Structure 1
Amino acid sequence: MRRWLIQLRKEQQLTQQEVASGAHIDRAYYAQIENGTRNPSMTVASRIAYHLHINPSLFFSEQLSDPFETALTGSPITIAHCDLEHRYTWLFNNHSNFMLKKVIGKRLDEIFKDETSTKLLDIKKTVVSEKKPVRKVVSFKLSDGAIDYDIFCKPIYDSNNNVIGTASVSMEGQKPFL
């Protein structure tokens, strides 16, 4: 069962029929995808992902992610993907202030109106415009106090070598990555 997909659909207050219609597939087929009894093709996954504002790789990462999920869950590391408009398409191991329903499909500055959001958005804009990685430490004021994140952000490319977004890894604290 793809609980993450069900949760994401419900957080966006969509029915199975609305997602299926948006992806141009039958609702029963979509229900089977949610239940995990059928796997979508890359085309169908892309259409569903577009409709839900997520990265289509989520459908195929389940088989590959167990070791990474085990290692990263509960760690001080957060991983995120954003599109060219700097809207979150995927987020993993996020701080509780960054609830998926608040963040997926949105830019950080649309959610949090502060200087830190602007700094993070500027990092992503630089990565896209210069087509090269950026690493900076940014301090976020969160519900449990200020937390410094060592952020490494790099461009994501499509098969034609066009930049289609950014991928970032953020680690609590100012110590360099090992």
Structure 2
Amino acid sequence: MRVSHQKRIWLERLRKMKGYSQEDIAYLIHIDRSYYSKIESGVRVPSKKLAENLADLLSFHVSIFELEESPFYFALQGSPMVIAHFDLDLRYTWIFNPHPDFDPVSVIGLHDVELEDNDGTRELMKVKQEVINTRTSIRKRISFPLSGQAYEYDVTCHPLFNHKGELIGGSSASTQLIGEDVRSAEIHSCRIVFDN
């Protein structure tokens, strides 16, 4: 049981992006509209089967419902880690703990370059596309200009499969590097410049 409920704005946004009303969704997954409304508003947690049907219909990974209950959800709030899911078109379907420059609701359905077009977001999209193309995980350091300064992130992306084993997109975990991590990366970059 959920300790407190929070409206699933991400779910509402995905539904609207696909052009469905609450009534359409309820009909397609064979439940009452008011019950679906309670799922979207965060009052109800769908059963595993219902969550899978909803995830299939709206093209997101069912684990998002489980993450709401996870102790990691609370432990990671406010940490320098961003966790996200994206679809096969590299559009965000869910994001947790984004940098303060970004609203977690308004990024749903957008590409990284639609949020901000820079070398970092273009590199992140290349990594995501490679994960989709190769169906393998990739880890890379990427620098992003945020809030007027450069932030270095250790980014890990994985392919994301639904309960049927079909590729539906990917997931990413990006940890902001600080202190020694960034300094060692800068020293390594300087060595490369001086050695050449």
TM-score between the two structures when normalised by the length of structure 1: 0.77
For the aligned residues, what is the CA RMSD? Answer: 3.0
Relative distance call for 1:98 and 1:55 in structure 2 (3 A) is farther
- Determine the structure 1 residue equivalent to 2:5: 2
- Determine the structure 1 residue equivalent to 2:35: 29
Relative distance call for 1:164 and 1:11 in structure 2 (3 A) is closer
Is the aligned partner of 1:95 residue 2:99?
yes
**Unmatched 5+ stretches in structure 1:** none
Task: State how 1:73-84 maps to structure 2 within 5 Å.
Answer: 73-84=77-88
1:19 to 18, 22, 27: 22
**Unmatched 5+ stretches in structure 2:** 183-196
Q: Percent identity over the alignment?
A: 35
Question: Secondary structure of the residue that 2:21 maps to in structure 1?
Answer: helix
**CA distance in structure 2 between the partners assigned to 1:33 and 1:19 by the alignment:** 10
- Determine the structure 1 residue equivalent to 2:168: 164
Deviations 1:10-30 (A, max 9, x none): 76896xx92242342433212
Question: Secondary structure of the residue that 1:105 maps to in structure 2?
Answer: coil
Is the aligned partner of 1:120 residue 2:124?
yes
Relative distance call for 1:105 and 1:42 in structure 2 (3 A) is farther
- Determine the structure 1 residue equivalent to 2:157: 153
Larger radius of gyration: 2
TM-score between the two structures when normalised by the length of structure 2: 0.71
Contact preservation (8 Å) 2:6, 2:43: no
Task: State how 1:37-76 maps to structure 2 within 5 Å.
Answer: 37-46=43-52, 48-49=54-55, 54-63=60-69, 65-66=70-71, 68-76=72-80
AA in 2 matched with 1:40:
P
**CA distance in structure 2 between the partners assigned to 1:123 and 1:4 by the alignment:** 31
Aligned residues: 171
Question: Secondary structure of the residue that 2:173 maps to in structure 1?
Answer: strand
Contact preservation (8 Å) 2:61, 2:162: no
